[in-house]
Homo-oligomer: A and B are copies of this chain.
Amino acid sequence: MSLDETSQKPHDRLAEWLADDMAAVNSLIRLRMASEHAPRIPEVTAHLVEAGGKRLRPMLTLAAARLCGYDGAHHISLAATVEFIHTATLLHDDVVDESERRRGRPTANLLWDNKSSVLVGDYLFARSFQLMVETGSLRVLDILANASATIAEGEVLQLTAAQDLRTNEDVYRQIVRGKTAALFSAATEAGGVIAGASDAEVAALFTYGDALGIAFQIVDDLLDYGGTDAAIGKNTGDDFRERKVTLPVIKAVAKADAEERAFWVRVIEKGQQAEGDLAHARSLMARHAAMEAARDEALAWAETARRALVALPDHPLRQMLDDLAGYVVARIA
């Protein structure tokens, strides 16, 4: 989920353009993640919130609102809301995945315990809920409530779809929306709504966020089979070891002959993995051009994101969002 950090990258240009807003968002986050009574809460949240995530999601909200001419103050609460939901999701994800590292640091469930991660995640959800009520917009609340349901449903779906080779591309897309795209699209859509954008603009912002998120996650899933450790900040092959049925696997399985299918059943469904199996999985993907097919889908989603932007006002931020969509898929193009 990390983007490169050299300057002039689209993400950095967004951060520069939105610097004042982001400073306000960061202050609000620090203020609201505190708890008068339970010191464990700021300990855990500080560990995660200060860990140097890129704040991509709140930036999408700010960019959408500013791009649509917003000059009020609610976009700050809304952006903090989106980051809180994201952080809460990460805390619960790390419990579910039994992860030990996140953004290069030990996870909260490792440093404290699973209990703290579950409950502090719940606290951040509640805090995000309070923040969004402060925007006073029922339409924003509706968007974020629906996104929350899609996220939670996608997480459960991922749990049950893992280790199941019947998982198809439809189910994969629902999982991807839950993991990534639902919060991206809620971030951009709600930013437009708070700015009073037209229905066509709001729809375009939704499509941009949705398509960007799907492209983003497909790239992530591709890199898990092909990237280098340094580039993706986690070990290659994690998804394989966790028996997740991601797009490259689905595409390779769809073209598998009987012998190949027996391999996938053994490593994914039965979880009997041995030395060399990851390399063999990669070779099967190469044989059936599964990586190329997945890459083409990511590129098509990025193109969908860029095309949606034409419905939005001409603005420097629009160009940065356009560049961002290109950048997300640049690592695999």
Contacts and interface: CB of A to CB of B under 8 A. Distances in A.
A125 B85 CA distance: 12
B133 A142 contact: yes
A155 interface: yes
A66 interface: no
A130 B39 CA distance: 31
A130 B120 CA distance: 22
Contacts of A96: 115, 118-119
A118 B144 CA distance: 20
Contacts of A149: 123, 126-127, 129-130
A283 interface: no
Interface stretch (A156-164, A214-222, A286-294): A156-164
A152 interface: yes
A92 interface: yes
A163 to B, nearest CB: 13
Contacts of A123: 149, 152-153, 155-156
Contacts of A39: 160
A269 to B, nearest CB: 17
A145 B160 contact: no
A164 B146 CA distance: 40
Contact of A126 (B116, B136, B142, B151): B151
A126 B129 CA distance: 10
A122 B35 contact: no
B160 A40 contact: yes
Contact of A153 (B41, B142, B157, B160): B41
B157 A38 contact: yes
Contacts of A115: 95-96, 159
Interface in A171-206: 171, 174
Contact of A171 (B37, B142, B146): B37
A273 interface: no
A147 to B, nearest CB: 8
A138 interface: yes
10 closest Cβ pairs, A-B complex = A126-B148, A123-B152, A126-B149, A122-B152, A38-B156, A129-B145, A130-B145, A38-B157, A96-B115, A119-B155
Given A38-B153, A123-B155, A125-B152, 12 more contacts: A40-B159, A40-B160, A92-B118, A95-B118, A96-B119, A123-B153, A126-B151, A126-B153, A129-B148, A130-B145, A130-B149, A133-B138
22 contacts: A35-B153, A37-B171, A39-B160, A41-B156, A92-B119, A96-B118, A96-B119, A116-B159, A119-B159, A120-B152, A122-B155, A123-B149, A123-B153, A125-B125, A125-B148, A126-B145, A126-B152, A129-B145, A130-B142, A130-B145, A130-B148, A133-B145
